[in-house]
Structures are given as C-alpha cells and as structure tokens.
Amino acid sequence: MAKQVPLIDYLVLGDAPHLKVHECEACRARFFDRRNACASCGRGSFRDVALPTTGVVKSFTIVHIAAPGIPVPFVAALIDCEGTSVRANLVNIRPDPAEVRTGMKVRLATNSIGTDSLGVEAVGFAFEPLI
C-alpha cells in the first residue's frame, strides 16, 4: 500500500479516519487551526479532541462556478458534528436541491486527492449521506 498523508492537519488517517480539533481547556471553544490563545476566553491551554464521524447538514449550496480544473456542480455544506461546525463538500449525492436537504444525516468520507511521483497519496475528506 502506498504511503498516505492527510491533505490538512486536522484529518487523522488510519483504521478509523476522523477529524480532530483543538479544544480550549478553559471554555471548551473549538478550533481547527493551531492557536496560541483562545479567541473566546484568551487562555492558552488546548487539548486535541476527536470529532464524531457523523453529523447533520445545517446549510448547503450548489456550486456551479469554481476555479479552473475543479469539476462543477458540487455541493458545499456546513455540517454540525455534535456542536462543532465543519465546512466540507458532500459526495456520493447528486448536486441537486431535490436530493440534498438541511437536517440530512451524513458521515465522514475520505478520498484520494492524488499520488506524487514517489507514490505518496494525498488524502482529503468530505461527507456523504448516511443511509
């Protein structure tokens, strides 16, 4: 198997892929990016917390115009993972307002972004309908 690397730091690969956040130990505010201080309370102590791999679509849009080389249309969504908002694309669903709805249950999915000349595969994430 080729070596895999996550496209973003907060994607954890392995037997049970998941997203992780930095949670303020004082007020429990959550951030995907590294922080020196909490934007909510100003404290500087964080712990890594694994997010649930399932969530609910809170909002979405169907994107019809994107950067060159990005296939359109696709669904961009805001997913609520038990109180933590995650921005991600929805996959394995037609990009049609008749198919996608707020309140729909989804689960984390990983996908190959590409493999370099050394055989290292970059892996990204999206969410897909939970059937």
Instruction: Read off the pLDDT of residues 3-58 as tens digits, 9 standing for 90 and up.
Output: 999 999 999 999 999 999 999 999 999 999 989 999 999 999 999 999 999 999 99
Domain ranges of the chain: 4-129
Which tokens belong to 61?
Answer: 């849009």
Which tokens belong to 5?
Answer: 């690397």
Q: Cα(30)–Cα(57) distance, rounded to whole angstroms?
A: 19
Q: Cα(55)–Cα(19) distance, rounded to whole angstroms?
A: 12
Instruction: Read off the pLDDT of residues 63-80 as tens digits, 9 standing for 90 and up.
Output: 999 999 889 999 999 999
Average pLDDT over residues 97-118: 95
Local confidence band at 131 (pLDDT 50, 70, 90 cut-offs)? confident
Q: Write out the E strands in 25-104.
A: 30-31, 46-50, 54-63, 74-81, 84-90
